[in-house]
Amino acid sequence: MDVSSFTATDLSRLALSVRLRDLSEAFRVAVAAEDSAVSSEDPDLAGRLWSLLATEIPSLQDAIVHHVRSSGGSWADIAALDGVSEDEARDRWKAVELTRTADPVAEAAALDDWYIRHAQLEPLAQVRDPFSRLLRAHAPRPHECLICVKYAEGALPAYGGYTTPPGGYLVDDGVWRVGHGPTPYWPAGTLLIESHRHFLDYADMNEAEAATIGPLIQRFAGPLKEAMGAPRIHFFSCMEGAEHFHVWLVPRTGDVPSGRSFIANPGYCSIPEAEAAIGRLREAMARAEANR
């Protein structure tokens, strides 16, 4: 996309979406604000939310009017929204200016990024550019591998993991990366092994990859059981989320009826829990190394 390809409808859609994102972010954060934060660090949360409504709701109405008008809507359509006559609607809204963003291309990319990071459970999260594709300025992008996109610092849903995993990388040797898996989807101690090189599965490994994947997994299996007190480590690898070689090492700690039901719903953890697990794993690996 380039700036000159943005239509008036695109720009009004962009302005509306920026307002909706900012409002939704403000309210999302307020939903999870702790009572202690409200009383000590942020004593005026209610006041800030109230003034947000007072200033932002009229701006949001402006943005909606602009979007309806630029998409071909009439003053009668606007009047119907507000329950007023067509003349009243025209008098009220005709002088409203579109709030322009300085860099529409960057703002559209930021909206794509924000959307898929926050909505990873929705079907649209499977689309890499859910906002941009609604713009007439949009040019379709070729399919991209989720793991390659991650290391190119692109927009990534939460299930794609981290470029800097909690507790840091255990291995990053130019052939493999090993770090903690994404905490909203996997329990504490879950490791994600990824190949540096883009290829699908064991059939496509080069000599160096084929020679090192077994010893790599072996290095982690024992210490991971010890660090997590896990009777079993589940090794899971299907390449369905990304067509790029990766293996999950999932410690199973609780009582579960069967392996399949555990891996279908393995649980989740917090970032501090993941960091603590990686700390214990590093200690267990150092002990295993010393005893070798």
Closest distance to Zn ion from the beta carbon of 256 (Å): 32
Within a 10 A sphere around the Cβ of 63, how many other Cβ atoms?
23
Nearer CB in complex with Zn ion: 246/280: 246
Nearer CB in complex with Zn ion: 136/141: 141
Closest distance to Zn ion from the beta carbon of 42 (Å): 42
Q: Which residues are near Zn ion by CB under 5 A? A: 145, 147-148, 198, 244
**Residue 289 carries which side chain, given as an amino acid letter?**
E
Closest distance to Zn ion from the beta carbon of 195 (Å): 8
Nearer CB in complex with Zn ion: 147/281: 147
Closest distance to Zn ion from the beta carbon of 142 (Å): 13
List alpha helices for the chain, DSSP H.
8-31, 35-39, 45-70, 75-82, 86-93, 104-118, 146-151, 207-228, 259-264, 271-290
The crossing angle, in degrees rounded to 10, of helices 86-93 and 75-82 is 100
Nearest to 150 by CA among 194, 184, 188, 120: 194
**Cα Rg of the chain, angstroms:** 25
Tokens of residue 34, six digits: 């702790």
Nearer CB in complex with Zn ion: 180/244: 244
Nearer CB in complex with Zn ion: 77/243: 243
Closest distance to Zn ion from the beta carbon of 112 (Å): 19
52 vs 50: CA distance, rounded Å: 5
